[in-house]
Amino acid sequence: MHRASFIAIAILVATSTQALAGPEIDRDALRKELAAQRDLNLKRFHAYRKAGVYPHNSYEEGFVNVWRDDDEHLCAVANLLEKQGLEDLVNTTASKENFVRIADINSGPLLDWVLTSGFTQEEVAMIQWPTWAQDDPVGYARAMREQRQKERARKREDERLAAGYKETEKTLKSGRVHDAGLDVAVARLAARPDLVEKLHASSVASK
């Protein structure tokens, strides 16, 4: 599969990130924040690519991810972190994990950055050279396919719930149900004087 196809797949995954957020999070606001961060990182990546100052592998035969080489040249991902002001993390990674593969990390400050970068981990792995999409295109495509299947199932469930919630809201707002519901609620609460007092107290406090 052509590299551009992998990028297209990753973009599809990225567009589903709001489905992965917790239910109490303002997903629209979060999406806007991540979109802004993504745009900023894309601009920085573009500038890095155009500058043409890349790290070189002088350490071992074959391909290896070099975070920072002996000439202090940073890889594309390290450059993004540096531009964000995360020099300490860049330096720590260079000294402890100079051949780190973004595709392989599953915890720690680098993954934290990935999660807030506006990219998916797979997309950040593409930015790093060589990417795991190129190293293992079959495995990458399979992982992306499984991820999309999960997200489609989650989306269908969300849509089913949303339709049900909409109908429930409509029913609860209808005059007859609204009045009958209140009548029953009043009758049941009246049997608990202690709770009536609490309700009164909270109502007064809120005024």
169: Cα within 13 Å, side-chain hemisphere: 6
Report whether 145 contacts 152 (CB < 8 A).
Answer: no
Report pLDDT for 88.
97
50-64, 69-83, 144-158, 170-184 — most confident range = 69-83
Report whether 118 contacts 38 (CB < 8 A).
Answer: yes
In the chain, what are the domain boundaries?
Answer: 3-157, 159-205
73-126 confidence digits (pLDDT tens):
999 999 999 999 999 999 999 999 999 999 899 999 999 999 999 998 888 888
Report pLDDT for 152.
87
Non-local CB neighbours of 67 within 8 Å, separated by 6+ positions:
55, 74, 75, 77, 78, 90, 93, 94, 97, 98, 99, 100
Report pLDDT for 177.
75
12-39 confidence digits (pLDDT tens):
444 444 444 444 667 778 888 899 998 8
Least confident window among 57-71, 110-124, 186-200: 186-200
Q: What is the mean pLDDT of residues 154-168?
A: 77
Least confident window among 64-68, 75-79, 175-179: 175-179
Report pLDDT for 86.
94
Q: What is the mean pLDDT of residues 175-204?
A: 74
